[in-house]
Structure 1
């Protein structure tokens, strides 16, 4: 009878140890998976933030190069000079006033056409950072955290009008808050209980 009791207690303690080991293993695996998920989310969020910053830089450079008052004044002066030079050259070659004017207009149109092509090429440079932002947003849209998905959608919507810098900054801040909240490690049951107890005091 004693051997039977000893065998039963050995089986019970063995089962208890096996359950404890399985629980600890699952808990450790879940914690590692959580850490890996948090790390992956941070990398994706960083890629999104870098893409948005690149886009803002490209837009600012485009604005500085082609849309500023100094640039518009330069283009106007060059257009007038091209018109005057073309008209003078035609007049020297023996052209009439009308012919001189037409040659001047042609030279001015040629200059404006080259400026327009260069401006379009610069605007096309914005397409690449915009594509990078959309590519970086794709995995974030599949996040298990709904707040991250919503913040990513709002950020993409703000990118559709990059000239509205206030809206873009607000969307980027909201995105950062959502990612920070999603990447904070979850507290253990004991830590949550301790926090509740401290908050109740």
Structure 2
């Protein structure tokens, strides 16, 4: 005689095996994600951490630019693209009004003439919030000069002598900084902006 409960026992064992396999797969998948985030945190530049000191998490995002992207950015910024086609964007996440939200983002432009690396932070509307020079270069890296970029976006000219004023002695660095900020605002608009 066949046991009527035998089918239930087999089904119960299959469910246990399936549940165990599912939990094991989650555990295996989660380990690399945690390690990836930890290693990414170690690679976050100190200047980015300083800009987003209140962030709970800063995540590095890679975006590869296509030839069409580079052409559009060069046209929009009136500057030549140089360097890597892999753009690194640091996204800052924190809690505002009790909810997790993106606080802003930053990009580091390497080797800007006379000032080293330039960290450019912007809000969720892609407006510049802060510019930090990696190396002091006289009045071209002064808070008074760098502060002029705050609130600027891709719709602003961001041109030395127009909306950006400079009367110091290091015009080459001031021009390089201005061009870098204009190129970054055009890049962020191309990658993340809304058409208008």
* TM-score interval, smaller chain: 0.3 to 0.5
Instruction: Judging by fraction of residues, say which structure has more helix.
Output: 1
Mark the structure with the bigger radius of gyration: 1
TM-score by length of 2: 0.34
Question: Larger relative contact order (C-alpha < 8 A, sep ≥ 6)?
Answer: 1
